[in-house]
Structure 1
Amino acid sequence: MLIHSAPLAETAEALRSGELDLHAYLDQVCDRIEQIDPQVLAFLPEPGRRRRLYAAADELLATFPRPAGRPLLFGVPVGVKDIIHVNGFVTRAGTEVPPEHFAGEEAICVRRLRDAGALIAGKTVTTEFAYFEPGPTRNPHNLSHTPGGSSSGSAAAVAAGMVPLALGTQTIGSVIRPAAFCGVVGFKPTLQRIPTAGVLYFSRTLDQIGLFTQDVAGMEAAASVLCEEWEDVRLSEDDIPVLGVADGPYLRQASQEALAAFKQQLQRLEAEGYTVWHVPTLLDIEAINQWHRRLVFAEFAREHATLYARFGHLYRPRTAEIIELGKQVSDAELSELRSRCIELRDRLEKQMQQAGIDLWVAPAAPGPAPAGLQSTGDPNMNLPWTTVGFPVLTVPAGKVYDLPVGFQMAARFGDDELLLAWAKEIETVLSA
């Protein structure tokens, strides 16, 4: 069985209290990686993984011998996408370019996890430089289907129960889409709510760190560790968000099967007392899709200018293509494209205010994970929310063709805490 339960909230509590012995648990984790990962290929190979984790566990137990005072993520093993720097690991970024040319200091997000007691289970597979050239990872729900990208290894590792928490990044749809394809919870916080220092940049304007778990409660715990100035939110029983559906060409990017599943999801929520407003918006989505890509391609080309000039022959075709496209964007145009992100954010938030909407909701992808491993799928259902930097979360919401689909929610800029609080209730309704 490639799918295995690994809820973060329950696991973290058991490790903190001592109910779950840390060494015994790490044996279970390493056993599962050794048994399952040869099929899923979510992790980069690491000889001596078990020995390294044992040593880290010994150090952690020596620091916190008693349950009282143990940090929130005590002993939790975490997968880290291989464009994020981790001390003791080489960052390879899914490419043949020599890794010494983009080495760097450990990422702030990794340090925060370590400070909270987490252990690094290993590096997870990414597409080349977090774009569309896929790695070897397979979807644990069906090995002949893509897990999505670019955070493919992180999503698959959590779905297969190898780790209860993993880090990814998103510039278009690289957290929400693979989370949906793999049937797990994916969360991309508000732009810059988690610092990106220590990450190999694709687009400094739009790169955002994200997380994968199997449970919203666990996601909330992890977010409280990683996000700047996190504040706990407690909702009253009658605090139910109003849901907004962006009717028009944006929604029509989803397949008929995905839209049918989405309609059923909305009906289930309405039966539980949720209000759903259909609002014509993102009517210019085709133009938004185009200028978003032009922006990130331009920044990617600038990020890789020196390396590409020297090692261009090692870049895979689709990666090289976007560098060539990005070179065509002038500095003046790039500045104008960056300003459009703010303008679109203001437009969407104004519509939310006028219509009384708390969350935009949509299918998390145009459909379930496509067959084959040559493509990681279409990120267009995620693109506008990433463009404006809204916090976004997807929860598993049933299946189409025996493959998972996700229900995507986007809140106002900065409303991460409310998004997660509301999502716990929505998760309950959609998982029933």
Structure 2
Amino acid sequence: MANDTPGRPTAAPFCSASDAFKDGSDTPRKFLERCLERLEAWEPAIGAYVTTDVAGARAAADASSERWRAGRPLSTIDGMPVGIKDIIDTFDLPTQMGSPIFDGWQAGRNAASVLALCDAGAVVVGKTVTTEFAATEPRGTRNPWDTTRTPGGSSSGSAAAVATGSVSAALGTQVIGSIVRPASYCGCVGFKPTVGAINRGGSHDYLSQSATGVLAASLTDAWQVMIEMAVRVGGDPGFEGLFGPLKMPAPKKPARVAVLETAGWAVATDAAKAVLHDAAERLARQGLAVVTRRTDPRVEAVEQGIVDAWPLSNRINAFESIWPYKDYRARDAEKLSQSCRDRLDEAATIGLDGYRAALAERNRVRALYTALAADCDACIALPAPSAAPVGLRPTGNPICVVPGSLLGVPALSVPLFQEAGLPMGLQVLGFVDGDADSFAISAWLSDALGHADA
């Protein structure tokens, strides 16, 4: 751990603390003040926030404290300190999208997800750092476990903020690996839901694989944030929204899990491979049927299908990014990163027919994966080839997590492991609209593999 930090990062689970709000031994305002102390201590070292609203957060926490005192909380997350990724609109704070083009820009409205959080009584602490337009260009956030290393991206600030306990949860978005990988690098829970499960209105990530999700201090905090949003604003238009109970699903032992190596296996460290091998062996000893590409032809078909998930996703994303990137370039090209301009150049080579062919290939691979659901309850994989690498540029290799985005399925990173003293998650992949099952299985895996969820 770098020596310019206040100590070991420690998250601040909220839902497990709420019993104390009921009996008056603690309050959301006191909980918030403890989070703000951590923010003050950590922020100079990690740069997780673009902007904060401490006065507004305190006022919201006071109102929440009164509701808990009266026995009328608005929801299970009433009073929870949260961060909002700065790609998502907020009425009273700028939405700058990691780009100088939008310095100081305000939308004048809350995104659907933010509206839902506020209606549920959550306490918005501030906007967390995103890479440029939630893509690849980093904006300076550092990993709290070692400030010489990346926290991952694009939900860089959300992961670092949750890991250090300045908030209990923070919104993220993922189209490649922008929730699951940062969660693994920073040692918190990360959840990307089934595509379309949470309303993305007011979130400036218009791509077809993108999903609004959460980074959180615990599985319970993650689920409660997601379900409280879903019941208030639903999913994307035309989608049925997140399925599942109003309370965190109980742990459920899977009967059969598949181990996915992904294309990331070729570049994964020996230590990371050993971690996944060991986890699979431990699960088999506990009576699970564990299948791999070497023992099940359907798993091998999926592995073959997802081997090009990253370049395929990049082609789809590049074409879908023609708007608004082309407009931004016309407005002020010098304020766009080179990677953003390169994406536009790539898009010019694809064309509508090429885009349609990419979508057809994505549908083919999704069908291969859907076939696994007949016999497998979930898949497990590495969320990254290693723990967080040294350096802030790039934000790490997404090769292990991009399959979950391409497939459009629920994906979690659960903080179970370490490599050289740095956190590393276990990636759990579910099936379309099986988000609640993915949580229940992740909870069981956490217990079975030695992690106690707060």
Secondary structure, counterpart of 2:321 in structure 1 = helix
- 1:39 maps to 45
| 2:98 and 2:131 in contact (8 A); partners too | yes
- Alignment: residue pair count: 427
Cα distance in 2 for residues equivalent to 1:163 and 1:234? 19
Partner SS, residue 431 of structure 1? coil
> Are residues 104 and 253 of structure 1, via their aligned partners in 2, closer, same or farther at CA, if it must alter by over 3 Å?
farther
User: 1:294 is aligned with what amino acid?
Assistant: R
Question: Is the CA contact (8 Å cut-off) linking 2:75 and 2:228 kept in structure 1?
Answer: no
**Could you tell me how far apart the structure 1 residues matched to 2:19 and 2:328 are?**
45
Q: 2:357 and 2:429 mapped to 1: Cα distance?
A: 25
Quote how far apart the aligned CAs of 1:45 are. 3.6
Deviates more, 1:131-140 or 1:320-329: 320-329
Instruction: Tell me the equivalent position of 1:205.
Output: 208
* TM-score, normalization by structure 1: 0.92
Cα contact 1:155–1:178 (8 A) shared by 2: yes
- The residue that corresponds to 2:71 in the other structure is 67
Residue in structure 2 matched with residue 391 of structure 1 by the alignment: 410
3-state SS in 1 of match to 2:214:
strand
What does residue range 140-289 of structure 1 map to in structure 2 within 5 Å?
140-201=144-205, 203-227=206-230, 228=241, 230-232=243-245, 239-247=253-261, 249=263, 251-279=265-293, 280=300, 281-289=302-310
Aligned AA (2:28)? L
Q: Is the 2:411–2:429 contact (alpha carbons within 8 Å) kept by the matching residues of 1?
A: yes
> What secondary structure is seen at the aligned counterpart in 1 of 2:292?
strand
Paired residue type of 1:430: L
The amino acid that maps onto 2:209 is: L
- Aligned-pair CA distance for 1:429: 2.2
- The one-letter code matched in structure 2 to 1:269 is L
Matched ranges for 1:262-411 at <5 A = 262-279=276-293, 280=300, 281-353=302-374, 356-411=375-430
TM-superposed CA distance for 1:411, in Å, is 0.7
Determine helix, strand or coil for the equivalent of 2:347: helix
Say if 2:136 and 2:153, in contact at 8 Å, map to a contact too: yes
The one-letter code of the counterpart of 1:358 is: D
CA deviation after TM superposition for structure 1 residue 155, in Å: 0.4
Q: Match of 1:397, SS? A: strand
- Decide whether the 8 Å contact of 1:73 with 1:116 is kept in 2: yes
2:251–2:441: 8 Å Cα contact kept in structure 1? no
Preserved contact between residue 216 and residue 427 of structure 1 (Cα < 8 Å): no
The residue matched to 1:283 in structure 2 has which SS?
helix
Paired residue for 1:86?
A: 90
Shift of the 305–273 alpha-carbon distance from structure 1 to 2, 3 Å rule, reads same
Choose from 34, 40, 60 the match for 1:56. Answer: 60
CA distance in 2 between counterparts of 1:8 and 1:55 reads 18
Supply the AA of the counterpart residue of 1:308. R
| Contact map agreement 1:250 1:283 (CA 8 A) in 2 | no
Partner of 1:137: 141
8 Å CA contact 1:44, 1:124 repeated in 2: yes
Deviates more, 1:364-373 or 1:268-277: 268-277
- Determine the C-alpha separation between the residues in 2 that align with 1:378 and 1:430: 25
Same amino acid, percent of matched pairs: 29
Gap runs ≥5 in structure 1 = none
Deviates more, 1:285-294 or 1:10-19: 10-19
Q: How many angstroms does 1:253 deviate by?
A: 4.3
1:79·1:122 contact (CA, 8 Å) conserved in 2? yes
Distance 1:97 1:2, change over 3 A: farther
Residues 125-152 of structure 1, C-alpha deviations (whole Å, 9 max, x = no match)? 1111111111111111111111000000
Q: Distance in 2 between matches of 1:53 and 1:348?
A: 43
- Asked if the contact 1:217–1:424 (Cα under 8 Å) also holds between the matched residues in 2, the reply is no
- Report how far residue 275 of structure 1 moved: 2.0
In structure 2, list runs of 5 or more residues that go unmatched.
Answer: 1-6, 231-240, 294-299
Give the Å deviation of 1:163.
0.8
Q: Which residue of 2 aligns with 1:126?
A: 130
Q: How far off is 1:67 after superposition?
A: 2.1
| Distance 1:263-1:295 versus aligned 2 partners, 3 A rule | same
Quick one: distance in 2 between partners of 1:235 and 1:118? 21
Report the alpha carbon displacement of residue 321 of structure 1 after superposing the two structures with TM. 1.3
Q: How much is the aligned-residue C-alpha RMSD, in angstroms?
A: 2.2
In the superposition, the TM-score normalised over structure 2's length comes to 0.88
